[in-house]
Copies of this chain bind each other. A is one copy, B any other.
Amino acid sequence: MLKLLKPAPATPRAAGGTGRGSHSVRGEAAPTRTRPARVPAVAPLAAPAAGIALLQSNSLPALVQRELERMILAGDLPPGAKLNEATLADLLGVSRGPVREAFRALEESGLVRLEKNRGVYVRQIAVEEADNIYELRAVLDAFVGRRVAASADPDAVRELRSHVARMEKAATRNDVDGYLKANLEFHDRLVELAGNAKLLTTYRRLVNELRLFRRTTLAQNGVLPTSTREHRQIVDRIAAADGEGAARALHEHVMASRERMHKASAAPVRDTTTRKSR
């Protein structure tokens, strides 16, 4: 007779909404025993509770993993860079154990490569692999388009349009970084709207790996306007609840990006200067 009168926190242990690595599968019919919620009689205050939950779910290795992932995706640790255990541990103020555990996780997520007795390196994506990823993305995005167009939520459409507007604004300024960010968010939100959590994590994994590829694609002349136009078309098809059209538009958009990548990688890279992101 457990008295669960206590308003147990809505999410038992949930931390970090769609964040990576948090595989907290909600609603697992626990055959073992659900946690007895040790909270005392007093109703927990919201703010400290959040902090507590943060502390509870975030171990040192998880923190290190997140930080390293951020550094890699931000370009602070460029592809091919060697990650030194001791140095990183010192930098992050922990010992080597947690760093090593983070390395294992990052390898499985495809961001680094481990070589026994040699070290850990940020992965370098070959053109062929990037090509494979683009192909996969095209397939997944086509499915996404079909699904999202079927849902056809006016609010969602409005939100997507705002993302496209941000892209347009960045494009007129030739702000490649801003464009890239808006672009990523647009597609991420789109996949999220498809309502398949596993699809979302799969998609994010692929996009993360793709970000390791050298990003000279968008720097070409005339690419930004073209890409923007494609995005507008995608939203239009969704707004019209045209599933097949949205699927086709998304598929072609990704395949066009793939082509642009090939063009860019065939031609010599123009800006060889270290483009520090901001």
State the A residues within 8 Å of B (CB). 1-2, 4-6, 8-10, 12-13, 15, 21, 23-32, 56-59, 61, 65, 76-78, 80-84, 87-88, 91, 97, 100-105, 107-110, 113-118, 121, 123-126, 128-129, 132-133, 135-136, 139-140, 143, 196-199, 202, 205-206, 209
Interface pair A139/B140, CB less than 8 Å apart: yes
Interface pair B121/A12, CB less than 8 Å apart: yes
Residue of B with least CB distance to A24: B113
Enumerate chain B residues within 8 angstroms of A197, measured Cβ to Cβ: 129, 132
Enumerate chain B residues within 8 angstroms of A139, measured Cβ to Cβ: 139-140, 143
Question: What is the distance, in angstroms, from A237's C-beta to the closest C-beta of chain B?
Answer: 18
Interface pair A27/B135, CB less than 8 Å apart: no
Enumerate chain B residues within 8 angstroms of A143, measured Cβ to Cβ: 139
Residue of B with least CB distance to A1: B76
A26 interface neighbour in B25, B87, B107, B133, Cβ under 8 Å: B107
Enumerate chain B residues within 8 angstroms of A30, measured Cβ to Cβ: 80, 124
CA–CA, A9 and B126, complex, Å: 15
Residue of B with least CB distance to A198: B132
Question: What is the distance, in angstroms, from A20's C-beta to the closest C-beta of chain B?
Answer: 9
Question: What is the distance, in angstroms, from A76's C-beta to the closest C-beta of chain B?
Answer: 6
Residue of B with least CB distance to A111: B23
9 smallest CB-CB distances across A and B, nearest first, come from A108-B108, A8-B80, A4-B87, A132-B198, A104-B105, A104-B104, A101-B104, A139-B143, A105-B108
CA–CA, A61 and B27, complex, Å: 23
Enumerate chain B residues within 8 angstroms of A27, measured Cβ to Cβ: 126, 128
Can you name 11 A-B residue pairings with CB atoms under 8 Å? Answer: A4-B84, A4-B87, A8-B82, A10-B80, A15-B114, A28-B126, A31-B80, A31-B126, A56-B116, A108-B109, A139-B140
